[in-house]
Amino acid sequence: MRLTYRDALRDAIREAMAADDRVFLMGEDVGRYGGTYAVSRGLLEEFGPDRIRDTPLSELAFVGAGIGAALGGMRPVVEIMTVNFSLLALDQIVNTAAALHHMSGGQFSVPLVIRMATGAGRQLAAQHSHSLEGWYAHIPGIRVLAPATVADARGMLGPALADPDPVLIFEHAQLYNIADDIEPDLNVDISSAAIRRVGSDVTIVTYGACVHKALTAAEQLAAEGIDCEVIDLRVLRPLDTASVLASVCRTHRLVVVDEGWRTGSLAAELMALTAESAFFDLDAPPVRVCSEEVPIPYAKHLEEAAIPQPHSIAAATRTLLGRSS
């Protein structure tokens, strides 16, 4: 079955709603407009306004309403238009949803799923091109997912809704139009990383849209005799450190690719974990490829220069291996 990433997300929502009448979708423009990225197109006609709910332009309010619905026994899927708008709901996500199970001594859970678009590359300038999933990966009490493939876009929602704690799903906006053939019955693991390419010379660890850039770089490097293993983290919290370390112990070299900014990044966490746990397995210091430390520019050529690209991943890998670029 061939689907786009967008259609896979829609099918996942449709399947969840058909299977469980506690599931509903809420967010800005998810109803009549069909969603900012057309993920929910047609669902209002299929399920009606009680289950496909357009909300006012207040992330603080409708994320809070989602938390309340989850506490009341529902299974809400809350769509936030883009990751920058989630900052308007930080108190609800970080100070309430993530903390309530702990603060109630285990008496309450918040089975809430929040979906949002993330990432740069669409010429939406500094305010709509953030990659802030690393911020949320810092927070105990939530699970953070970043589906990079059509299969993961299709298969992650079901287990996310089954999780008793809040789950945040970050959908890179450059992925909505990609297409792939997937199995009709998917059983996606939302606890483990996935090896997208097996290799022996260097481990490239990344997530989201950068998975595809890393695979492109790996194919370029293969033509030069460099064999890259590409790991798709998929789950940013809790990190599957065992899979990363096992790969590094095989290849003895690590490149981390992260569209977030370098300072305080998820890439820095992965490098620190590797240094702590696999220092003597490394044949060279780990390197990272991150976005430039600037607000993401609007101009296309500047935006492309500011974020990781296949050529910058390949160049960093060659340098790590002592090869000339």
The dihedrals phi and psi of 192, each to the nearest 5 degrees, come to -125, 150
Helices (H), the chain: 5-19, 43-47, 59-71, 90, 100-103, 133-136, 150-155, 157-162, 210-222, 241-251, 266-278, 300-306, 310-320
Identified catalytic residue from 28, 79, 128, 229? 128
128 given a catalytic annotation: yes
Identified catalytic residue from 15, 28, 45, 59? 59
Structure tokens at 268: 């820095």
Q: Cis check for the bond before 56: say yes or no (omega within 30 of 0).
A: no
Q: Which helix (H) or strand (E) holds 26?
A: strand 23-27
CA gap 153, 150 in Å, rounded: 5
Residue 154 burial (C-beta neighbours within 10 Å; 0-12, 13-18, 19+): buried
The interaxial angle of helices 241-251 and 266-278, nearest 10 deg, is 60
Closest CA to 208 of 300, 116, 127: 116
Closest CA to 113 of 214, 190, 197: 190
Q: How far is CA 35 from the centre of its chain?
A: 19
**Angle, CA of 119, 121 and 126, to the nearest 5°:** 70
**Angle, CA of 165, 171 and 174, to the nearest 5°:** 175
Residue 94 DSSP code = I
Catalytic residues: 59, 128
